Structure 1
């Protein structure tokens, strides 16, 4: 009996250690954000909503860009309730898969604000089993996660003023060790592989973070970073899991309770985003990749590829008259 008890205790201890590691660290920095104007995409659910809540509680003005306005209005009501109606929020519709929607969103923001200080590119898409294309005929995942985010950011750059301490925070993912950018993803006729499309889109976005930091750290007093939030129980993760039959069966069984025991909640997944938004500006490592509230070096993210992908993307959109 004592042997069984010891074995059981060791198993529980190991599981708790694994759980603690999977759940990640908590943001330990804080500051008052009065006067800050923060744009957050995909802020009606998941880590975007948690980020909006916590920055609103610190007196930032939040501009929410969301595709589903019904869910977004519910999110606004939730934030207002949690802040005793003190939150300063503006809500505009934004569909990152449609460049015309992005134009309309930017026009709406500029009609009410003459400056912003933080842009959090949080919205993302994954787990589409069947191939879909955007209005401008990009593969949907790559077109939303990278091209849409790129175009939005470029259109908002004029709202960053040099006298402020400006930040662009790009929520990415685990970055695979790609040898170089694969420009075939700009071709909607490419064979559809949704997992590769997702990771390439996040790889491109990480390169774009480095480019933005290099290009604007002096002229706009702007720092740009990439953020890996970890594996989180959000809509995007559930879409991924449902697209893989074995995992979907796993999650629809009683074993889902084990899955949720280890995976991060949205607030746990938002910690690194909050860290990079709240840390003293002079301590923020511009151009870097943040994971668990600290910098992780990525040798495959080089300024050479960052400039190359920026020029390719910019030229590609210019040919489409965007």
Structure 2
């Protein structure tokens, strides 16, 4: 009798773990449609969520621009995806989000090659364990995760404005809700820096930017949305663990639990893919999406005055005004 009780307990526990895992895996995009007439830019498309997004959209026939730093790695991946999808319309244009000059150069190359933009996915992101500066002397996490994508989008606004069906998808994080303030005037100060806070602030800035950009495009047709991919096992997490020994030890000890409550890159890519393929009219302008569904971002992210201040400050830093 005790044997069968043990068997029943194992089976019940396995079933419970299965459903827990499915819950944390989140929603899955079920949309499959031909988009061979679409031109898509994906930043950070050489790894993690960006790579899986590129792979999925390539299978749908889109022209994909891999906007990445590592040339050899990206070209190798492009060749592999071409073989997988029979889609030859995959191209590499170098993009270094740590340099405003390099971002401008990317936009120049893109506009020489293409006269349309249908989907812009601002996906690339980093998390620094210590204070570092970009090539332009700006705090690195903020510069790459937010300001670099602000620059990229701003430089492509002429193409965005002329395409009423264009959509901009900004990858944020639920971590933005950890912020209870954003002092833009201190964003580059070393004494304002904390590795986690810097990441949270950059993701809050992404949402504020998304909503302000949508207001500035009102009446023109393009849709701007932001997504939370979920806690995913990506290179960003691996890089953080490599720099913080105590975190690596904790993660090693708790890895089964970590695996249970996190997504792989394919699962993490689902909401961005959903927003890229959903019918244009069904997307909520300025919306925040989680697990392929419209969700609600933090109260601070809805602050219109802060969003306007962020936009103006960014434009001043970049010399646009």
**Structure 1 residues 39-54: aligned runs within 5 Å:** 39-54=41-56
Q: C-alpha displacement at 1:306, in angstroms?
A: 1.8
Asked if 2 retains the 8 angstrom alpha-carbon contact of 1:64 and 1:91, the reply is yes
Asked if 1 retains the 8 angstrom alpha-carbon contact of 2:229 and 2:268, the reply is yes
CA distance in 2, matches of 1:104, 1:21: 42
Q: 1:34/1:44 Cα in 2 relative to 1: closer, same or farther (>3 Å)?
A: same
Q: C-alpha displacement at 1:94, in angstroms?
A: 0.6
CA distance in 1, matches of 2:206, 2:26: 23
CA distance in 2, matches of 1:187, 1:46: 28
Asked if 2 retains the 8 angstrom alpha-carbon contact of 1:97 and 1:143, the reply is yes
Q: How big is the alpha-carbon RMSD for the aligned residues of Structure 1 and Structure 2?
A: 2.0
2:35 corresponds to 1:36: no
Show the counterpart of 1:225. Answer: 225
Show the counterpart of 1:151. Answer: 151
CA distance in 2, matches of 1:152, 1:248: 34
- Secondary structure of 1:238's aligned partner: helix
Match of residue 69, structure 2, among 63, 67, 70: 67
Q: 1:13/1:185 Cα in 2 relative to 1: closer, same or farther (>3 Å)?
A: farther
Runs of 4+ in 1 over 6 A off after TM superposition: none
- Secondary structure of 2:238's aligned partner: helix
Q: Unpaired segments of 5 or more residues in structure 1?
A: none
The more displaced of 56-65 and 304-313 is 304-313
CA distance in 2, matches of 1:35, 1:236: 32
CA distance in 1, matches of 2:18, 2:246: 25
Asked if 1 retains the 8 angstrom alpha-carbon contact of 2:117 and 2:163, the reply is no
- Secondary structure of 1:87's aligned partner: coil
Q: How many residues align?
A: 316
Show the counterpart of 1:102. Answer: 103
Show the counterpart of 2:135. Answer: 135
CA distance in 1, matches of 2:277, 2:237: 26
- Secondary structure of 1:27's aligned partner: coil
CA distance in 2, matches of 1:68, 1:190: 32
CA distance in 1, matches of 2:116, 2:305: 31
By percentage of residues, which structure has more helix?
2
CA distance in 2, matches of 1:178, 1:129: 18
The more displaced of 274-283 and 14-23 is 14-23
Q: Unpaired segments of 5 or more residues in structure 2?
A: none
Show the counterpart of 2:184. Answer: 183
